[in-house]
Amino acid sequence: MIKKSKIIKKKVASKKTENQMMVLLEDIRDQVKIVAEGHVGLDKKIDSVHNELKNEIQSFKHDTESNFKVVFKHINEMEDFKHEMDGFKHEMGAFKHDTESNFKTVFQHFSNIEDELKIIKMEISELKTMLFKKADLERLVVLEQKVATLERQLAK
Say if residues 147 and 120 touch (Cβ distance below 8 Å): yes
Pair 101, 131: CB distance under 8 Å: no
Structure confidence at residue 50 (pLDDT)? 93
Judged against a pLDDT cut of 90, whether residue 18 lies above it is answered with no
pLDDT given at position 13: 60
Please give the distance of CA 148 from its chain centroid, rounded to a whole number: 62
Higher pLDDT, 62 or 153: 62
Per-residue model confidence (pLDDT) at position 133: 64
Q: Rounded to the nearest 10 degrees, what angle do helices 137-155 and 2-134 cross at?
A: 170
Torsion of CA 2, 7, 11, 12, to 10 degrees: 10
pLDDT of residue 81: 95
pLDDT of residue 4: 59
CB 154 within 8 A of CB 120: no
pTM value? 0.43
pLDDT at 80 over 70: yes
Q: What is the largest CA-CA distance in the chain?
A: 187
